[in-house]
Structure 1
Amino acid sequence: MDMKKKETHIFQSEVKQLLHLMINSLYSNKEIFLRELISNASDAIEKLRFHALSNPALYEKNGEFNILISVDKENSTITISDNGVGMTRTEVIENLGTIAKSGTKTFLESITSNDPEKNRNLIGQFGVGFYSVFIVADKVTVKTRAAGLSADQGVFWESLGQGEYTLANISKADRGTDITLHIKKGEEEFLEDWRLRNIISKYSDHISLPVKIRTKKNENEGIHWEKINKAEALWIRNKSDISEVEYKEFYKHITHDNNDPLVWSHNRVEGKQEYISLLYVPKCAPWDMWNREHKHGLKLYVRRVFVMDDAVQFMPHYLRFIRGLIDSNDLPLNVSREILQDNRVTHSLRNALVKRALQMLDKLTQDTEKYQLFWKEFGLVIKEGPAEDINNKENIVKLLRFSTTHNNSIEQNVSLDEYISRMPKDQEKIFFIAADSYAAAKSSPHLEIFYKKGIEVLLLFDRIDEWMMSHILDFQGKKFQSVSKVDDSLNKLMSNDAYKDKEEQKTLQPFIKRVKNILGERVKEVRLTHRLTDTPAIVITDTNDMSTQMVKLFAAVGQTVPEVKYILELNSEHILVKRMIDIQDENIFSLWVELLLDQALLAERGTLDNPNQFIQRINKLLVA
């Protein structure tokens, strides 16, 4: 073979790390190498088919597509060939010498566990792709030529899967890619015809392109290529004819995820619009789901022709974990991302697909165990929905899960339907509290009256929660109410205690006025409360003022927020407050007032502007 411009290149460091991890973590599932190579070959052919719509010359002389597999037992090699789009020299370096995914370094740093099962799951989420060949091969050779280029612009790539690879220009008559695996000693099972047939049937039966194995029945007959798979697009088949295993393997084919999906929904729609959708919910969240450059969206087909990956126009951001495809009969074949953005058909399809996805999740809620798996992986993403998707807000809110004072657990597993079913008849609102952590929410002094009266409160402790609640006004006719804000329903809740002794209110007015004089404009108001049992004082925000958690959220993203002026509420039944009432020394009284305010602020905000001053006040009172 005549080679020109032969060079030796060093692998990108991330490739070396990934190779090492795969070889050591995926040893129990070695056969996935063939699934990955067939999947890549299928993608290459689909891309050529699409590009040839506008440039038929790319077909060259061969318009029939095939994925061919041949075995040479004498030389211990397997060759997988496709006549797809092929690669240029630059593309070979980009695709086989580097990992172009954003966040790769962060991903590799996360693989720190010695647990092989955990590593397998993480690598599966990342997508093993081409490099899985080195699980069974000690040398891999690639010959490729991009469609439309002359025969002398072929490219040769070869590597032992260690630190470097060889690159050269060669002559290749046919477009597409040939990958030859030199099988390691001990992995000879993959040279057996029956073994390869079994793998193809297991993983690639659903691929719409023919996968053929080279056969030779006897010495007098020539070479034959036998089709092994059904070679019919899975999504166009009747649901009743598709097995659960086939659905799962198709998911792995389009996502390169090693894990089975959690649930899926396959639908054919005819009438005003004609399309087929196949939507999947993954079992595990993508490792880079919170990366802004994370690719998401559906595969788009138009009349069975592949058009693009990651078509984000069909799914809102809060459903970015949904994987799958849509095959439309109504979009033009030459559709671009820009056209999709403003296309009437796109908007209609998006609305239908979102409703289908939410119906799929609603159905999943019937399986409590499975839904909890889903919520742990994607609950935070779903919480973005009420603000993002007003039209489907009610259906999204039904999917939300909360920790509450009822279940006494950090696990978020209570639906709003369950909460309402346990509400006393005279309870007007759905109560919630937002804090920095589960422990802070659960132990907040704001809850003392609720614990006393046995009223359930939602415990919100994810950073997004307060922002989410600002976009949810009610559920099933019940409004939401933060227990750390002023509200008439809270007064009614405390009515049996709060107003039983009007004389006390009059008697303690001088004390309240004295406290207010010391604090001045630092607080909005000072008043008595009967919502507390074990705590001397709390601070609350007025009905229309920004909450503490919302202030923290805005500050975290660098936005300037107005200073919150709290209302200080004092528990007249608490021993410390009773003692304060009788203190005549103005300096000592002032120290107690400041101390109670600091305590209340600390419980509410989790921090103080001047913690050292707080400590000094405690010390002075200890020795007073």
Structure 2
Amino acid sequence: MTIAADKPAESHAFEADVARLLHMMVHSVYSDRDVFLRELISNAADACEKLRYEAIETPSLLGSAPDARITITLDEENGQLRVEDNGIGMSHDEMIEALGTIARSGTRAFMERVEANKAGEGSQLIGQFGVGFYSCFMVSDRVDVVSRRAGANEAWLWSSDGKGSFEVKGLDPADAPARGTRITLHLMDDARTYTSRWTVEKIVKEQSGHVPVAIGMIDKPGGEPKQITDGTAIWTKAKSEISKDDYTDFYRGLSGQYDEPAITVHYRAEGRHEYTTLAYVPGSQPLDVFDADRKGRMKLYAKRVFITDEAEVLPRYLRFVRGLVDTADLPLNVSREMIQDSPIFAAIRKGVANRVISAIEKFSEDDAEGFKTFWVNFGAILKEGIYEDFERRSQLLAISRFRTTASGEEHRSLTDYVKEAKESQNAIYYLAGGSHDQLKASPHLEGFRARGIEVLLLEDSIDSFWVMNAPDFEGKTFKSVTQGSADLSQFAKVDGMDQAEIEAPADTKAFIEFAKEKLTDHVEDVRLSDRLTESAVCLVATEGGYDLQMEKILQGAGRLQTAAKPILEINPLHPMIRAIAGIVDDSDFRDDAVALLLDEARILDGSKPLDPRAFAERLARVFERAARS
């Protein structure tokens, strides 16, 4: 019978994206090369966690060595560093898949982000897209990986210089760990400092000191390991025993980021259900926070045994939170499929979400400057909860911040908005869609600005959705300034001039009736506007339908085949309207003028003219008439 060690070596080319990634790493994209050690230790710890999980159903996998361990061996004489674990290990196929490809949809986005950053900033990006192993090529001329899967007889050697290909061959089991993986780095000449005990121990304690697997170090091959971390799970300790640096170190190892956490939530729930939560709100935006699948990044443990990182511990609008939940209430053999249907897990989810949101709420009250950064990073995501989470909607509205017509570049709360609202103002006015500069320039704001009425400027795509579901806030409903009648006549203008008292000339009224007749196929109505003070025209949605921005979103998504006819509002005091209305002896000109006014309103709304060619022809005729005059 042929055994693995007798089989010929296989040579494989790296997947294209891996080769490109390795090239970037070898050419020093990352200035902080220490990151490789944390990534290798993190992978080793994951392998031990996976073994503990599989051993729940197959205890024999643990053999005579049930305790998980990670061992680092220094070989200064030969310029080598080894990281070995007794975790789950890899089979032949698993080794090729794990070390030759990157099976993550975010790989290309990761590398594009790396290339866009200047050297020195990339160390914050490693580990967030499953590329941590490849960081060892920053310090190595060659990497050898020996692995034997728990319960298997065959062992395998993976070897590569990181220059485009790798080799896999069978290995005599006597030269491999009883189970698990041994990674040997053949260090570059300028990386031999990683054989120094002082250097390596310092890095391990700073970056991986709270990995839930004991780490030992051997000074030279053949020596005895000395334990440098005890593998005690940080979340099982009392808060009084954990320093801020301890929390930060664990956060960095857990999240793959090098920033400081903005918020740390650590508590033990007791009573009907017992569980411990350690959760972090990052200080900066993780790269994967806008992934289309909107998956969370919270890990679930049962009695310190890793169960899964795919359970939705938190609602999806809190997916930027990193951390874990450890409970004794779930059985160790619970399947990933059963977790989601468990009433115990449902209660845990509710409790954790409430605590995280309460922590964010407290953060907004205690640290105004810090909360500004939080909101820029995660506000658009948190607002998804206003749309999705009925139970916590009012709480999320109170946390939310918005730029408004009165706030400049700053963000304001709805509480601040309500405090400064006009005495008889029953609505919270908003304008949704487009960039901040586009929103500020919208003609729909003119009448509100002239009367000193603040309007929320909603720039995020989710804003058009949650405003439809939002309840009133402190007795005031949400109302789009692009929908229905503005009804601003009850508010006095800041300059003292009341437009309602100015009667539109008879010829302007006649022109509006003419426009209404001509545009009957395209608009629901043509009417005088009390929201315009500077622009000549604008489009608004009818009172009972969607606002203009929401209609665009639904049409773009194929959810709305035909939009409702808008209303064309005309400013009777605008000089151009007065001039056009005064020309009554040229019917062709009046036809062109009406059509051009509608197209102007469409352009101001961010849409195209109804018929671009006809628009150009009408414009040419108007210019010719002006030239003749």
Q: Which residue of 1 aligns with 2:603?
A: 602
1:603 partner letter:
L
Please give the alpha-carbon distance, in whole angstroms, between the structure 2 residues aligned to 1:620 and 1:568: 23
Q: Which residue of 2 aligns with 1:356?
A: 355
The structural deviation recorded for 1:310 is 2.9
Out of 3, 6, 13, which is 2:16 matched to?
13
- State the number of aligned residues: 614
- Is residue 446 of structure 1 aligned with residue 444 of structure 2? yes
Q: Which residue of 2 aligns with 1:404?
A: 404
Please give the alpha-carbon distance, in whole angstroms, between the structure 1 residues aligned to 2:204 and 2:288: 30
The structural deviation recorded for 1:2 is 5.2
Q: Which residue of 1 aligns with 2:173?
A: 172
Distance 1:437 1:609, change over 3 A: farther
Check conservation: 1:498, 1:529, Cα contact below 8 A: no
Please give the alpha-carbon distance, in whole angstroms, between the structure 1 residues aligned to 2:314 and 2:242: 25
Check conservation: 1:126, 1:257, Cα contact below 8 A: no
Q: Where do 1:464-479 residues align within 5 Å?
A: 464-479=462-477
Q: Where do 1:99-138 residues align within 5 Å?
A: 99-113=102-116, 115-123=118-126, 125-138=128-141
Distance 1:565 1:166, change over 3 A: same
2:244 partner letter:
E
The structural deviation recorded for 1:488 is 6.5
The structural deviation recorded for 1:401 is 2.4
The structural deviation recorded for 1:160 is 1.5
The structural deviation recorded for 1:433 is 1.2
Distance 1:177 1:339, change over 3 A: same
Q: What SS does structure 2 have at the residue aligned with 1:139?
A: strand
The structural deviation recorded for 1:601 is 2.3
Distance 1:98 1:521, change over 3 A: closer
The structural deviation recorded for 1:268 is 0.8
Check conservation: 1:127, 1:257, Cα contact below 8 A: no
Out of 68, 87, 90, which is 2:90 matched to?
87
* Aligned Cα root-mean-square deviation (Å): 2.5
Please give the alpha-carbon distance, in whole angstroms, between the structure 1 residues aligned to 2:567 and 2:94: 64
When structure 1 is superposed on structure 2, of 603-612 and 155-164 the one drifting more is 603-612
Q: Which residue of 2 aligns with 1:308?
A: 308
Check conservation: 2:301, 2:307, Cα contact below 8 A: yes
The structural deviation recorded for 1:354 is 1.2
Q: What SS does structure 2 have at the residue aligned with 1:116?
A: coil
Q: Which residue of 2 aligns with 1:417?
A: 415
Please give the alpha-carbon distance, in whole angstroms, between the structure 2 residues aligned to 1:216 and 1:506: 99
Q: Where do 1:188-199 residues align within 5 Å?
A: 188-199=192-203
Q: Which residue of 1 aligns with 2:65?
A: 62
Q: What SS does structure 1 have at the residue aligned with 2:55?
A: helix
The structural deviation recorded for 1:232 is 0.7
Distance 1:457 1:475, change over 3 A: same
When structure 1 is superposed on structure 2, of 322-331 and 193-202 the one drifting more is 193-202
- Is residue 321 of structure 1 aligned with residue 320 of structure 2? yes
Q: What SS does structure 2 have at the residue aligned with 1:545?
A: coil
1:54 partner letter:
E
Q: Which residue of 2 aligns with 1:281?
A: 281
1:599 partner letter:
E
The structural deviation recorded for 1:182 is 1.6
Please give the alpha-carbon distance, in whole angstroms, between the structure 2 residues aligned to 1:185 and 1:351: 53
Q: What SS does structure 1 have at the residue aligned with 2:225?
A: strand
Q: Which residue of 2 aligns with 1:574?
A: 574
Q: Where do 1:327-406 residues align within 5 Å?
A: 327-365=326-364, 366-406=366-406
Check conservation: 1:127, 1:258, Cα contact below 8 A: no
* Unmatched 5+ stretches in structure 2: none
Q: Which residue of 2 aligns with 1:455?
A: 453
Please give the alpha-carbon distance, in whole angstroms, between the structure 2 residues aligned to 1:234 and 1:545: 54
Please give the alpha-carbon distance, in whole angstroms, between the structure 2 residues aligned to 1:207 and 1:513: 76
CA offsets, 1:579-622, max 9 Å, x none?
A: 23332222222222222222222212432221232232222122
Check conservation: 2:32, 2:120, Cα contact below 8 A: no
Out of 15, 23, 27, which is 2:26 matched to?
23
- Is residue 73 of structure 1 aligned with residue 72 of structure 2? no
The structural deviation recorded for 1:167 is 0.7
- Is residue 231 of structure 1 aligned with residue 234 of structure 2? no
Q: Which residue of 1 aligns with 2:594?
A: 593
Distance 1:316 1:87, change over 3 A: same
Q: What SS does structure 1 have at the residue aligned with 2:524?
A: strand
Q: Which residue of 2 aligns with 1:263?
A: 263
Q: What SS does structure 1 have at the residue aligned with 2:352?
A: helix
- Is residue 141 of structure 1 aligned with residue 144 of structure 2? yes
Distance 1:396 1:157, change over 3 A: same
Please give the alpha-carbon distance, in whole angstroms, between the structure 2 residues aligned to 1:539 and 1:216: 78
Please give the alpha-carbon distance, in whole angstroms, between the structure 1 residues aligned to 2:116 and 2:489: 53
Out of 208, 214, 218, which is 1:214 matched to?
218
Check conservation: 2:504, 2:572, Cα contact below 8 A: no
The structural deviation recorded for 1:86 is 0.7
Distance 1:621 1:48, change over 3 A: same
Distance 1:264 1:603, change over 3 A: same
Q: Which residue of 2 aligns with 1:514?
A: 514
Out of 171, 182, 185, which is 2:186 matched to?
182
Please give the alpha-carbon distance, in whole angstroms, between the structure 2 residues aligned to 1:591 and 1:294: 49
Q: What SS does structure 2 have at the residue aligned with 1:619?
A: helix
2:357 partner letter:
L
Check conservation: 1:205, 1:229, Cα contact below 8 A: yes
CA offsets, 1:466-500, max 9 Å, x none?
A: 12221223212211111112247534236983543
2:255 partner letter:
T
Q: What TM-score, normalized to structure 2?
A: 0.92
CA offsets, 1:150-188, max 9 Å, x none?
A: 2xx111111112222121111325111111122221222
Please give the alpha-carbon distance, in whole angstroms, between the structure 2 residues aligned to 1:597 and 1:64: 76
Q: Where do 1:485-504 residues align within 5 Å?
A: 485-487=483-485, 489-493=487-491, 497=498, 499-500=500-501, 504=504
Out of 41, 44, 57, which is 2:44 matched to?
41
Distance 1:113 1:157, change over 3 A: same
Please give the alpha-carbon distance, in whole angstroms, between the structure 2 residues aligned to 1:336 and 1:344: 14
Distance 1:112 1:201, change over 3 A: closer
Check conservation: 1:102, 1:293, Cα contact below 8 A: no
Check conservation: 2:600, 2:609, Cα contact below 8 A: no
The structural deviation recorded for 1:3 is 5.5
CA offsets, 1:365-384, max 9 Å, x none?
A: 24333323333332222222
Q: What SS does structure 2 have at the residue aligned with 1:539?
A: strand
* Unmatched 5+ stretches in structure 1: none
Q: Which residue of 2 aligns with 1:205?
A: 209
The structural deviation recorded for 1:563 is 2.9
Q: What SS does structure 1 have at the residue aligned with 2:181?
A: strand
2:330 partner letter:
L
Q: Which residue of 1 aligns with 2:244?
A: 244
Please give the alpha-carbon distance, in whole angstroms, between the structure 1 residues aligned to 2:588 and 2:415: 53
Distance 1:292 1:533, change over 3 A: closer
CA offsets, 1:97-143, max 9 Å, x none?
A: 11111231233234333611343333454354211222222122111
Please give the alpha-carbon distance, in whole angstroms, between the structure 2 residues aligned to 1:474 and 1:368: 25
1:421 partner letter:
K
1:566 partner letter:
P
